[in-house]
Chains A and B, each alone.
Chain A
Amino acid sequence: MKPDVLIIGGGLMGFSVALQLVKRGTRCKVLDKDSAGRHASGVNAGGLRQLNRHPAEIPISVAAADMWHNIESLVDSDCDTRFPGQIRVAENAEDMQLLEERAAMVRGLGFEHEEIIDRDELYRLVPALAPHCKGALICRNDGYGRPFHALDAFRRKALSLGVEYHASVRADAIEHNGNEWCVSSEKGEFRAPVLVNCAGAWAARVAAALGESVPLKPGAPMLMITERLPRFIEPVIGAASRKLSFKQMQNGTLLIGGAHMAELDFEHQTTDMDWAKLALSARTVMALFPQLENVRIVRTWAGIEAFMPDNLPVIGRSSRSPYAYHAFGFSAHGFQLSPVVGKIISQLILDERTEFPIEPFNIQRFCKR
């Protein structure tokens, strides 16, 4: 049966959009050139972070946090989520001042989720931390989930409600013939009146096929994971003036990220680790947790993600067609936003408006004046 909406990209964004649409009775089809979760959505760090978001993202991130806290009602699985908070530590007086300014700015926007904690509370929450830290910024209802499980839950729920999904189908040419889109692939043609571009790091190609040029840069942030350890830390840790994201996962392993990039061969979808940068990450971890010196790293990897020059996503209607929509460019922080993005795009398609402030994510911001 011909779908009402054709979604390019079977990552979290694609399935989140499909799920919200099918819940409102819309027939959807999702295409992915690889397998579900092969890219950013399946291999990311799983961080559910409102903390330290760009002001433009705060409203949707806060809405997404609400959805994550009730994720089981949406996808019948808790996606292995935990909410022990996320913390950004200050290692010196300047760090502390930066964080205080940040907290004041967020309060000024009318939000309460980020707060300053002093040294005593920091060490109460994170006794394992090296003793030199001064205090921190915290978001107490932040946390983390397990990305591949989340994606699997979204996919299975969407499929159970009737969404059609085709793996190993790459959308190549895209044409509009007056009243519907025709997407061709090596596996045949797919038609639908409405098209959604959730193609992650490849979204610029889809946008280009719609006549829109966007300055998307694919990048491959690296992560590393250690052997399992007895639980010694609850919240997710970042630092005010270092590249770090550090958490002990559900099973006791430590997941270490630092926004450092692997060398990416985009054509072949392969990455080479940059060991000099991973060594930096290791030194950062040891500065904050010197007791981890002999812990073994068992794996490192990188995921391919879409980065925009302003690190803000593109979410909204195409500038070229009222029947095409974009949701891409999440610049390494889209996991947390994924549930609300589905809501936004489905509202735009079905209600022609959304309750969320999405103007900052308009694709037109990249149009040359």
Chain B
Amino acid sequence: MKDHYSLVIVGAGPAGLAAAVNAAHHGLDVALLDEQPAPGGQIYRAIESIPAERSSLLGAEYQRGSELVSVLRDSSIEYYPDTQVWSLNRKLEIGLVCSNTAAMITANQILLANGAMERPLPFPGWTLPGVMNAGAGQILFKAHGIVPADGVVLAGSGPLLLLLAWQYLHAGVKIKAILDLTPVHNHLRALPYLPRALLAGHYLMKGMAYKKELKRAGISTLHNISELRASGREQLESISFRQNGRQHVLETELLLTHFGVIPHTQLSRAAGCRHDWDSSQQCWRPQLDEWGNSSIDGILIAGDGGGIGGARTAEHAGRLAALEALHQLAKIDQRQRDRLGRKDRKWMREDLHVRPFLEAFFHIPGKLLRVPDDGTIVCRCEEVTAGEIRMAVANGHSDSNQVKFQTRCGMGPCQGRQCADVVENIIAATGGDSIARGGHYRGRPPVTPLTLGQLASLYPEEKE
């Protein structure tokens, strides 16, 4: 690895791959970094190594990844798998660990294409072994062909839940139930956005087709579910929930939950990019212009990390950000950028038509986000409950950072990734404040842990 590149891209999913290929095509020296062992990101995970049979179970949308990845392999792009970026600052310095050695490299332009994460949403019992994110279930399936042997209950809200159910159905997994926590009145909320969504109707059609197939296979989806609770002594034994005023219990040793996805903002936060609260997507997202420029010169963001748009939009945004990087580096002029970007901009606009509808349809009820049950753990790392957070607020600790200092919430190895938004929601609700004012945890690098030995390997020439 060199210590400087014209363009460094973090993340080898659809956005990062498309950007890298486009930039390299125009002669830029590009380094593409990714923490995974192989390219493809979350959606095209294991695309190069997956057996054909499993790949076909995942559907045509998944297979699309092979094309992107094979272009990467044929290019001049320096691709570094198994590489963890642990720091980024406004001077465009990137701290990374590769082969157990830390390094600090620089770039003229940096593109963050590090995607999304599942929205953490604590509910009673969510930390029990046997309760997992749907995304984790999907990773096990894609990368290792592991599926639940003794059946599974899926619960939550969002398109991924449906997709996973469909994939499991085809893989022969026993789905005991699908619990849909989307409130029925979301249908009304989403209705005004339906006409626009129909312009990208293939997404809706696909969703309906999945639903129909599941129904035909006799898998019951229970709607309008609330008060989900997981119970068990050492590990999950049963779940309970309420439907239309009635309490139900289901025995299961595995529960996969999903409450939508939100942008991974750790690196953009670390660099100091400005973020806004998006009340439709119910998450923070970095401020970006139409080419992907963040509030910091030289830092671009594309794909779900800049706001949830899905894989196709990510690809377009990645190519556009690459053009912008080329423009910033004076490899192309503004007119060329605009001309070369015209198609991607058009396609991206069209692809995004479905989003407002999906966001309204899968809008998570505020009550769920605020973790009503005091006993529920919010910070898994430090085992801090919602009640302790509310107590800290009652004692005058009125923003996230004070709550963190007081309770240690967010001080564990995940760096607050899992609890930051939840804590803000709780504080906002307690104080009648809006989430945007509650403030976010101040970043405390490294973004991901690094060992003392790795840190010691950095700047070996520096002496006391």
Residues of chain A whose beta carbon lies under 8 Å from any beta carbon of chain B: 35-38, 42-43, 148-149, 152, 156, 226-227, 242-243, 251, 270, 272-273, 275-280, 282-286, 292-301
Tell me which of B104, B412, B451 contacts A295 (CB under 8 A). B451
- Chain B residues, Cβ within 8 Å of A273: 87, 445
User: For the complex, what is the distance from the CA of A42 to the CA of B397, rounded to whole Å?
Assistant: 13
Q: Are A293 and B451 in contact (CB under 8 A)?
A: yes
Task: Say yes or no: A297-B451 contact (C-beta < 8 A), given A42-B405, A152-B406.
Answer: yes
Cβ contact within 8 Å between B452 and A270: no
Q: What are 9 A-B interface contacts by the 8 Å CB criterion?
A: A35-B398, A148-B405, A279-B102, A279-B462, A282-B455, A286-B453, A292-B452, A297-B449, A300-B445
Find B452's partner among A149, A156, A275, A286 (CB 8 Å cutoff): A286
The answer to whether B459 touches A276, judged by C-beta atoms less than 8 angstroms apart, is yes
Q: Are B87 and A283 in contact (CB under 8 A)?
A: no
Chain A CB within 8 A of B402 CB: yes
User: How far, in whole Å, are A35 and B403 apart by their CA atoms in the complex?
Assistant: 12
Q: Which residues of B contact A280 (CB under 8 A)?
A: 459, 462-464
B289 to chain A, nearest CB (A): 23
Question: A156 to B456, Cβ gap below 8 A?
Answer: no
In Å, the complex CA distance between A35 and B459 comes to 36
Q: With A35-B398, A293-B451, A293-B453 given, is the CB distance from A298 to B413 under 8 Å? A: yes
Closest to A287 in B: B456
Are B452's CB and A278's CB within 8 A? no
User: What CA separation (Å) do A300 and B445 show in the bound complex?
Assistant: 6
- Give Cα A285–Cα B453 distance, bound, in whole angstroms: 10
A299 with B411, Cβ < 8 A, contacts A152-B406, A156-B395 known: yes
How many Å from the CB of B71 to the closest CB on chain A?
35
How near does chain B come to A180, taking the closest CB pair, in angstroms? 29
Count residues of chain B with CB under 8 A from any CB of chain A. Answer: 35
**Whole-angstrom distance between the Cβ of A295 and the nearest chain B Cβ:** 5
Give which listed residue, B87, B413, B458, contacts A227 with CB less than 8 A: B413
Of all chain B residues, which has the CB nearest A270? B272
Interface residue B215 (Cβ < 8 Å from any Cβ of A): no
Least CB distance, A272 to chain B, in whole angstroms: 6
Contacts of B445 in A (CB 8 A): 273, 299-300
* Contact for B399 among A35, A284, A301, CB less than 8 A: A35
Query: Which residue of chain B lies nearest to A283 when distances are taken between CB atoms in the complex?
Result: B456
Complexed CA–CA distance, A152 and B395 (Å):
10
For residue A294, which residues in chain B have a CB less than 8 angstroms away from its CB? 451-453
Give chain B residues whose Cβ lies under 8 Å from the Cβ of A270: 272
B458 engages A242 (CB within 8 Å): no
Closest A residue by C-beta to B459? A276
Q: Which residues of A contact B453 (CB under 8 A)?
A: 282, 286, 293-294
A275 to B95, CA, bound (A): 9
Chain B contacts with A in 80-121, Cβ cutoff 8 A: 87, 89, 91, 95, 102, 104
Known contacts A275-B458, A279-B459, A299-B445, then 11 further A-B pairs from the complex at CB < 8 Å, ordered by chain A residue: A37-B402, A243-B464, A270-B272, A275-B87, A275-B95, A279-B457, A279-B462, A280-B459, A282-B452, A294-B453, A295-B452
Looking across the interface, which residue of chain B has its beta carbon closest to that of A299? B444
Q: List B residues at the A interface (Cβ < 8 Å).
A: 87, 89, 91, 95, 102, 104, 272, 395, 398-399, 401-402, 405-406, 408, 411-413, 415, 444-446, 449-453, 455-459, 462-464
Determine the residue in chain A with the shortest Cβ distance to B93: A275
CB–CB B405/A276 < 8 A: no
Among the listed A148, A156, A278, which residue makes an inter-chain contact with B455, where contact means beta carbons less than 8 Å apart? A278
- B463: A residues at CB distance < 8 A: 280
* Across-interface contacts of B91 in A (CB, < 8 A): 272
**Once the chains are docked, how many angstroms separate the CA of A298 from the CA of B448?**
7
Closest CB-CB distance, A91 to chain B, in whole Å?
13
Nearest CB in chain B: distance from A171 CB, A: 21
Q: How far is the CB of B319 from chain A (nearest CB, A)?
A: 32
Cβ-closest 9 pairs across A and B: A293-B453, A296-B449, A282-B456, A282-B455, A148-B405, A279-B458, A276-B459, A299-B444, A276-B462
Query: Do A296 and B104 touch across chains, with their CB atoms under 8 A apart?
Result: no
- A165 nearest in chain B by CB position: B396
A242, A283, A293, A294 pick with most chain B CB within 10 angstroms: A283
Contact A296 B87 (CB under 8 A): no
Q: Which residues of A contact B408 (CB under 8 A)?
A: 251
A148 contacts B452, C-beta separation under 8 Å: no
- Please report the C-alpha to C-alpha distance between residue A297 and residue B87 in the assembled complex, in whole angstroms: 13
A297 and B458 CA atoms in complex are apart in Å by 14
Determine if B104 and A275 form an interchain contact, defined as CB atoms under 8 angstroms apart: yes
Complex Cα gap A279–B460 (Å): 8
Q: How far is the CB of A310 from chain B (nearest CB, A)?
A: 22
A300 to B87, CA, bound (A): 11
Contact of A279 among B89, B411, B456 (CB under 8 A): B456
Q: Give the Cβ gap from B381 to chain A, nearest Cβ, in Å.
A: 9
Q: Is the CB of A226 within 8 A of B462?
A: no
In the assembled complex, the Cα of A293 lies from the Cα of B102 at a distance in Å of: 13
List B contacts of A277 (CB < 8 A): 462
With a cutoff of 8 Å between Cβ atoms, the chain A residues found around residue B458 in the complex are 275-276, 278-279, 282
Q: Are the CB atoms of A298 and B395 closer together than 8 Å?
A: no
CB closest chain-A residue, reference B455: A282
Instruction: Specify the chain A residue showing the minimal Cβ separation from B457.
Output: A279
Alpha-carbon gap, A299 to B444, bound state (A): 5
Task: With both chains docked as a complex, state the minimum distance between the C-beta of A209 and any C-beta of chain B, in angstroms.
Answer: 28
Cβ-closest chain A residue relative to B458: A279
> Cβ of B398: which chain A residues have Cβ within 8 Å of it?
35
In the complex, the answer to whether A298 meets B412 with C-beta atoms within 8 Å is yes
**Distance between A34 CB and nearest chain B CB, rounded to angstroms:** 10
Q: Are A298 and B415 in contact (CB under 8 A)?
A: yes
A298 to B95 Cα, complex, angstroms: 14
